[in-house]
Amino acid sequence: MKKWKLAFLIMASFLLVFVIVTVFRTVTVKSKQPAPKPTQAVIYEDAAVAHLSEAITYKTISYQDRSKFDFREFERFIAFLQKSYPTVHRQLELERINDYALVYKWTGTNSAKKPIGLTSHYDVVPVLTGTESNWEQDPFSGAVDNGKIWGRGTLDDKIGVLGILEAAEQLLKEGFAPNRDIYLMFGFDEEIGGDEGANAVAKTLRDRGIEFEFVLDEGGAIVENMVPGVVQPVGVVGISEKGSATAELSIEGSGGHSSQPKDHTNIGRISSAIAKLEETQFKGDLRGPGEDLFQFTAPEMSFGMKYVFANKFIFEPIIEKILLAEPASAALIRTTIAPTIFQAGEQYNALPEKAAAIINLRLMPGDSLEEVKASIEDIIEDQDIQVTLTGSEATKVSSIDGWEFKAVQQAARNVYGQAVIAPYLMFAGSDAKHYDAVSENTYRFLPVQINAEDLNRMHGTNERVSIDNYIKAIKFYYEIMKGV
């Protein structure tokens, strides 16, 4: 045999083996979605809608300045809950922590088992001054129009409070008793950090030795066109929250007259440091909750995309490159840097003696504050620039292998049979982080199917929810309580 023929044969057989192995890996990828057991919940729509509509009319607004809280509205909201959910209030124990955080304990038939917690919050963000007239319906009207309920809090997050209570009321009326204890916990200051609400609740329960199997909070929703290659809507359950930290870069030194400047001024050096950080960036790495998202969605992808993800060991650099090209997906796989404040100079002809910049960072699970600070110092390579870094690291990563995650997934599938339910990493904060103190697992999921526009409405204008979504959210909580 001629030499080139042999070489060709060897190459061809390598290629053949490569194709067989990678295609085999692709076709044997198994779905991680439990088969839906369609919910049998019967929810009385008119009553449920009337409740959410009225809930919106109470102005339970959170302000950064706590002295601005109008607690009469919070008190009226609590009275409204008592009136609307009489069975819950008759049969469950209610405790008020810091007056306005509500903790309902529903004792199960087997209290020896660890309890679960369902949480949401009833405070809402203010309506931005000057935007009131952009609302199609008054933000605190609770108007019901064209299949939708309107107003501040319909999505974030009175739907959670009402959805949970509506489901509990219905189950109690059916004579249902939960298997284990269930705690319903409602915060009143989530929008400003949850210190007096969820944080205080978690501390109180921890002091009593209570430990949850899991706590479920608001978080990711079900969205279409979320993951490339997946036709079905994807519901994402946050299993960890990125850390949030603030870096200050500052330099001090002689200023002087601008007529005889040095080659490198304070402003120039801070600018150059930021330019280097943006140029270098933190390394993207498909791991942790970001990787989990694709593990759960890959089996549902079209063949081409499935092929790529099933053979991640070959294609990882390409996948990462694609993810890093878009800010939303880049944030899933790396610690991000966002310069937000630049301070220097007062007068057009005087060199400032000090220049400083503030950078907001969101940390990946596993990236510690010390490591991030050291990386910044390495990248900027300027000994005269002082770097300080304060903030919080990412929360712990909750399990996706145990029954706890599957219980959330199953309940979601029972209501949204078509949706692919997958874990992911939250970029924004919520009350869930406080419950890390009393729970192995904290999941973050808002059981509604919405689009990007709805997401913007959440803290913006024309917040609203469809009646269909609201009823499905109630059914989801119903399924969770039945399923645990």
Contact mark string toward Zn ion, 259..298, x via CB under 5 A = ----------------------------------------
- The least distance separating Zn ion from the CB of residue 455, rounded to whole angstroms, comes to 12
Which is closer to Zn ion, CB of 151 or CB of 284?
Answer: 151
Alpha-carbon radius of gyration of the chain: 26
Which is closer to Zn ion, CB of 191 or CB of 320?
Answer: 191
Which is closer to Zn ion, CB of 156 or CB of 189?
Answer: 156
Cα–Cα separations (whole angstroms), residue 449 to 13, 141, 220, 234, 422: 48, 23, 10, 9, 14
- The least distance separating Zn ion from the CB of residue 444, rounded to whole angstroms, comes to 10
For 118, the enclosing helix (H) or strand (E) is strand 116-121
For 390, the enclosing helix (H) or strand (E) is strand 386-392
Cα–Cα separations (whole angstroms), residue 425 to 312, 335, 428: 19, 12, 9
Question: In whole angstroms, what is the distance from residue 299 CA to residue 422 CA?
Answer: 11
Q: Does 169 bind Zn ion (CB under 5 A)?
A: no
Catalytic site residue from 123, 241, 404, 431: 123
359 CB neighbour count, 10 Å cutoff: 23
- Beta strands 182-187 and 116-121 are parallel
- Which residue in 419, 410, 295, 404 sits closest to 35, CA to CA? 410
End-to-end CA distance of the chain: 68
Q: Is 191 a catalytic residue?
A: no
Q: Is 189 a catalytic residue?
A: no
Question: In whole angstroms, what is the distance from residue 63 CA to residue 129 CA?
Answer: 13
Number of chain residues interacting with Zn ion (CB under 5 A): 2
- The least distance separating Zn ion from the CB of residue 459, rounded to whole angstroms, comes to 9
Structure tokens at 216: 């479920």
Question: In whole angstroms, what is the distance from residue 224 CA to residue 323 CA?
Answer: 18
Which is closer to Zn ion, CB of 301 or CB of 425?
Answer: 425
Contact mark string toward Zn ion, 134..163, x via CB under 5 A = ----------------------xx------
- The least distance separating Zn ion from the CB of residue 95, rounded to whole angstroms, comes to 22
Catalytic site residue from 157, 190, 213, 479: 190
302 CB neighbour count, 10 Å cutoff: 11
Backbone φ and ψ of 212, nearest 5°: -95, 150
Which is closer to Zn ion, CB of 119 or CB of 414?
Answer: 119
For 207, the enclosing helix (H) or strand (E) is helix 198-207
- The least distance separating Zn ion from the CB of residue 164, rounded to whole angstroms, comes to 14
DSSP 8-state assignment for residue 192: G
Which is closer to Zn ion, CB of 157 or CB of 189?
Answer: 157
- The least distance separating Zn ion from the CB of residue 124, rounded to whole angstroms, comes to 8
Residues of this chain that bind Zn ion (CB under 5 A): 156-157
Q: Which residues are catalytic?
A: 123, 190
